[in-house]
């Protein structure tokens, strides 16, 4: 699994002109599922995201994880597995098939919901989504459950 995690002042997602998810301060998480991903990837990535110390403490240092009074907005994004090795048109052959991806995306959302007590929202899997966000910092973190050494 891959996640692009953005610290935001606020974020929202619309489907067909209707807001389906929104948060104030917190994390906007774009999640891609690889065809080899399993539950272990889901567990590792959820712990990493919730443990990220990217919010400032009283001294202005990034020492705090996402707090219950904040939120997480989760967006499915298979394009995180885009590969440009053979030219300019991305190949997405490393992304999981839609059925598996949706299943793991939903399980990831459920897992976050059991571990995080704040506002948890999401887009609609497979839908054409319009996302608005105000980055805070900016702070952007890239996580990959199959490349854990960075």
Instruction: For 102, list phi and psi in degrees, rounded to 5.
Output: -65, -40
More confident call, 67 vs 94 = 67
- CATH 3.50.80.10 for the 2-144 domain, yes or no: yes
Q: Give the integer Cα–Cα distance in Å for 105 and 124.
A: 10
Share of the chain above pLDDT 90, in %: 87
Summarize pLDDT for 42-83 with one digit per residue, the tens. Answer: 999 999 999 999 999 999 999 999 999 999 999 999 989 888
The residues annotated as belonging to the active site are: 77-79
Residue 7 has pLDDT above 90, yes or no: yes
Whether the CB-CB separation of 46 and 31 falls below 8 Å is answered with no
Task: Provide the H-helix boundaries in 8-140.
Answer: 39-51, 98-115
| Domain edges within the chain | 2-144
């Amino acid at each position: 699994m891959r996640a692009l995690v953005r610290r935001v002042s606020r974020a929202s997602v619309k489907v067909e002109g209707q807001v389906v998810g929104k948060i104030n301060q917190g994390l906007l998480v774009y999640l891609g599922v690889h065809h080899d991903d399993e539950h272990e990837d889901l567990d590792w990535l959820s712990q990493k995201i919730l443990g990220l110390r990217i919010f400032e403490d009283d001294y202005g240092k990034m020492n705090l994880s996402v707090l219950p009074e904040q939120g997480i907005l989760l967006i499915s994004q298979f394009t995180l597995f885009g590969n440009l090795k053979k030219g300019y048109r991305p190949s997405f052959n490393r992304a999981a098939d839609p059925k598996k991806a949706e299943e793991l995306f939903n399980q990831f959302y459920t897992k976050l919901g059991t571990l995080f007590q704040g506002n948890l929202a999401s887009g609609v899997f497979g839908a054409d989504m319009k996302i608005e966000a105000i980055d805070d910092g900016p702070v952007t973190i890239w996580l990959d459950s199959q490349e854990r050494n960075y």
